Structure 1
Amino acid sequence: MKIAVIGCTHAGTAAITNMAEMYPEADIHVFEKNNNISFLSCGIALYVGGVVNDPDGLFYASPKGMEELGVHMHLEHEVLETDTENKTLLAKNLQTNQETVYGFDKLVITTGSWPITPPIPGRELDNIMLCKNFNHAKHIIKQAQHAESITVVGAGYIGIELVEAFEEAGKKVTLIDGETRILNKYLDPEFTAPVQKSLEDRGVNMVLGETVREFKGEEGTVQKVLTTNGEYETDMVVMCIGFRPNTDLFRGEVDMLDNGAIIVDKYMQTSRKDVFAAGDCCTVPYNPTGGNAYIPLATNAVRMGTLVAHNLEKPVLAHPGTQGTSGLKIYEHQMASTGLTEMAAKQAGFDTGTAVVEDDYRPAFMPDNAVIKLKIVYDTKTHRLLGAQVISEADFTQSINTLSVAIQQQMTVEQLAMNDFFFQPHFNKPWNYLNMAGLEAMKNIKARAADKRKVPAAV
């Protein structure tokens, strides 16, 4: 069996290592445009901020290690064409410019995602950078050494992490986003507000509700960012607007969503026989809504890559779906979320209910304590859990993993309220904060039902 893999980051690495173990007689060929593999882009901000001093630590696999597994690594090779019907691909050696046709029995597409780059006038100026791969990280580090003022465009996870890193490095930082608050895709307003205040208190210039319309500079280097409502001087810009599936190569070959995400079934099979896809380049089953979604996360990618290997010869292991679970630490704020936010649940058409617990996490007699704020989102008709968020100065992010499992198993708020969690004063109270969230939801549901039963007063 001859297997061709295009792309080797999270999904590709997981697929390749598992396939090499499961099919030792297979002839595996990997095509990667970069000269490295398996880069943890989520560590870029840690590298920029000096938390990680050795960038080699951001790689968790190596070409040499792959070759020792018997895999043929074609680094700095760009795939120019694929013919999924005749099972061939055309690859160009970027060092020699030689083009070669390769055949395959199975094709695994793990081309990942690429930063969204709107056609903003002036985007070709120097010091306007993307933030995705190892080369981007090195370029950002190098240019930031000579920059006094830095602008980050995009207030998602990567943007916020970079803002923190630049601010702690003593830079004058401006954050620009078209939304009126940060992290709006992941957290509701009561969770983003304290993080936003911490950024403002540290001098970050928060330019929210404004869209970049032009970059201006002299001698080819950016000097100003013009928005819909102002202009801001800067020495460099990092674009962190978001990501899109890197799938242009496969248009017309396999079915896709409008945004280019490759549609796969629960066994990672595309619309074309013997062609599989995994990771940021494709859709993933989304349990809170029961549909498919585009959620580019490393955790999703490694699961999907592993599933490709298991299902390569025949479908044996189905994808259980995802909740889009993620976490973040900014300054003293440790936060995580899973599933739908309250706003997203309403937009999805659910009759949405919420319950919030904000309390010390340990009994009052304990010598030290911390406040935990936990919110669950549920469907008021079925009482099924849809999402959850947590924030604290202590680390309670693992509780979101528990709630991710609860959503995946379609637990109700009543089941959460009465679920068995241990008690020990060092860690929690007799009613665990997860139980308390379920109990609060039950109380809210009961109060809502009572309101509906009230008879209007006589006039």
Structure 2
Amino acid sequence: MKIAVVGCTHAGTAAVKNMAELYPEAKITVYERNDNVSFLSCGIALYVGGVVKDANGLFYSSPSELQEMGVNMKMKHEVTNIDTDGKKIAVRNLETNEEFEDTFDKLVMTTGSWPIIPNLEGIDLNNVVLCKNYQHANHIIEKAKQAKKIAVIGAGYIGAELVEAFEVYGKEVTFIDSADRILNKYLDPEFTNLMETEFENRGVKLALNQAVTKFVGSEGSVEKVVTTEGEYEADLVILCVGFRPNTDLVKGQVDMLPNGAIVVDEYMQTSKKDIFAAGDSCAIYYNPIKKHAYIPLATNAVRMGTLVAQNLVKSTIKYMGTQGTSGLHIYDYNVASTGITETAASLFDMNVKSITISENNRPEFMPTYENITLKVVFEEETRRIVGAQVISKIDATQAINTLSVCVQQEMTIDELGFMDFFFQPHFNKPWHFLNQAGLQALQA
């Protein structure tokens, strides 16, 4: 059995490692454009901020490790064409420019995603940079050493983490987004308001509800970001406006969402037999809305890659779907969310209600305690839990993992009130704050 794997970051690495163990007689060939695999881009801000001193720690595998497992690693090789019906691929060696063809019995598309690059005047100026891979991380660090005024465009997780890192680093930072709130895809206003205030208190300039129209510079380098509402000086601009699936190679050959994300079934198989896909190149089943959606996360990618290997020869283990569960640490705040927000529910024509509680993490007779704010979103008719968010200066984020399971198992908000949680004054109250949310929702 000949297996061709295109791309090898998170999903690809997971698929390859498992396939090498499950099918020792198979000939597995990986085609990867870069010279590395398994880079954790979620650690870029930690690297930029100096928390992670050695970028090598952001890799959890290597081409040599996979090669030792018997995998044929074709690094710095670009796949230029795929014929899914003829089971052929065209490849170019990026170092020698040699071009050749290969065949496959099974194809694994783990091509990931690429940053969205807006078509704007001045986008090609020096010091307007992307934030995705290892090379980008190193460019950002080098350029940030000389920069004084930095603009971060795109107020998602990566953007927020970079803004914090640059501010702590002593830079003058402007945070720009076309939405009226930061982190609006993950959190509702009562949570984003807290974080916006924190940024502003630390001197970060928020430029929200305005779109970038162009970049202005001289002598080839950026000097200013122009938006629909104003102009902001910047000698370094980081683009974090989102990602698009990197799937042009199989466009028109397998089913996709309008944005190009490959649709896979519960066994990671595409609409075409023997073609599998995983990771940021895919649309996956999103449990809160019970439909496929594009949710690029490393956690989803490694699960999907593992399942590709398990199901490559025979459909064996079903994917359980995702809740898009994620977490964030900004300054003193620990934040996490799962499922849909109350704001997003309207976009899916879902009729929801929510319960928000503010509670101390342990009894007030203890020497210290800290406030936790928790919001749980649930369907009004079925009372099925569809999302949750938590924020606190202590780490209460594991509660979101619990609520992620609740969403996955279609539990109701009423059941949450009576789930079995332990009590010990060092850790919590007799009624766990998750129980309290469920109990208060009985009146909702």
Which TM class, normalised by the smaller chain length?
A: over 0.9
1:351-430 alignment to 2 at 5 Å? 351-430=351-430
Matches of 1:381 and 1:278 in 2, distance apart? 34
Q: Structure 2 length as normaliser, TM-score?
A: 0.99
Task: Indicate the SS of the match to 1:145.
Answer: helix
Q: Is 1:148 aligned to residue 148 of structure 2?
A: yes
- How far has the Cα of 1:242 moved from its partner? 0.4
Does residue 35 (structure 1) correspond to residue 35 (structure 2)? The answer is yes
C-alpha contact 1:345 1:386 (8 A) present in aligned 2:
no
Amino acid at match of 1:59: F
Residue 13 of structure 2 aligns to which amino acid in structure 1? T
Distance of 1:226 and 1:200 partners within structure 2: 21
| SS class of match (1:283) | strand
- Looking at structure 2, the residues matched to 244 and 439 of structure 1 have their Cα atoms a distance apart, in angstroms, of 41
Shift of 1:321: 0.5
Q: 1:180, CA displacement in angstroms?
A: 1.0
One-letter amino acid of the structure 1 residue matched with residue 416 of structure 2: L
Equivalent-residue separation in structure 1 for 2:372 and 2:188 (angstroms): 16
Q: Distance in 2 between matches of 1:411 and 1:241?
A: 34
* Distance in 2 separating the partners of 1:10 and 1:266: 19
Residue 405 (structure 1) shift: 0.2
Deviations 1:326-371 (A, max 9, x none): 0000000100000010111232222211111101111111110000
Letter in 2 for 1:208: L
Question: One-letter code of the match for 1:181?
Answer: R
Corresponding residue for residue 187 of structure 2: 187
Equivalent runs, 1:47-446 vs 2, <5 Å: 47-444=47-444
Provide, for residues 1-36 of structure 1, a one-character-per-residue CA deviation record: whole Å limited to 9, x for no partner: 110000000000000000001001110000000001
Where does residue 451 of structure 1 map in the other structure?
A: none
What secondary structure is seen at the aligned counterpart in 1 of 2:137? helix
Match for 2:10: what amino acid? H
The separation in 2 between residues aligned to 1:441 and 1:183, in whole angstroms, is 26
SS where residue 309 of structure 1 aligns? helix
Equivalent position SS for 1:214: strand
SS at the partner of 1:443?
Answer: coil
Stretches of structure 1 that go unaligned for 5 or more consecutive residues are 445-459
For 1:364 and 1:175, how far apart are their aligned partners in 2? 38
Cα deviation for residue 271 of structure 1 reads 1.0
Q: CA deviation at 1:440?
A: 1.1
Provide the rounded CA distance (Å) in 1 between the counterparts of 2:50 and 2:246.
30
1:179-219 deviation line (CA, Å, top 9, x unaligned) = 11100000000001111111001101110111100001101
Give the distance between the partners of 2:226 and 2:355, measured in 1 at CA: 41
Q: Amino acid of the residue matched to residue 337 of structure 2? A: S
Is contact 1:150–1:174 with CA below 8 Å preserved after alignment?
yes
Q: CA RMSD in A?
A: 0.6
Take 1:206 and 1:250, find their aligned partners in 2: how far apart are those partners? 40
Deviations 1:405-433 (A, max 9, x none): 00100001111111111111111111100
Q: Which amino acid aligns with 1:342?
A: E
| Superposed displacement of residue 276, structure 1 | 0.2
Work out whether residues 149 and 173 of structure 1, in 8 Å CA contact, stay in contact via their aligned partners in 2.
Answer: yes
Corresponding residue of 1:456: none
Q: Secondary structure at the match of 1:302?
A: helix
Residue 435 of structure 1: SS of its match in structure 2? helix
8 Å CA contact 1:125–1:222 kept in 2: the answer is yes
| 8 Å contact kept, 1:225–1:232 | yes
Checking the alignment, whether the CA contact within 8 Å between 1:355 and 1:437 is kept in structure 2 is: yes
Aligned partner letter, 1:256: M
Q: Is the 8 A contact 1:39 1:60 kept in 2?
A: yes
Distance in 2, matches of 1:56 and 1:321, equals: 31
Displaced runs of 4+ in structure 1, greater than 3 A? none
User: Residue 134 of structure 1 aligns to which amino acid in structure 2?
Assistant: Y
> How many residues are paired up?
444
* Residues in 2 aligned to 1:102 and 1:399: alpha-carbon distance in whole angstroms: 48
Pick the structure with greater CA Rg: 1
CA distance in 1, matches of 2:194, 2:357: 16
C-alpha separation between the residues in 2 aligned to 1:414 and 1:227?
A: 47
Deviation string 1:236-288 (CA, Å, 9 cap, x unpaired) is: 10000000101111112211111000011110001111000000001110001
2:202 maps to a residue whose letter is: R
Could you tell me which runs of 5 or more consecutive residues in structure 2 were left unpaired when the two chains were aligned.
Answer: none
CA distance in 2, matches of 1:69, 1:421: 43
Partner letter of residue 166 of structure 2? F
AA paired with 1:148? K
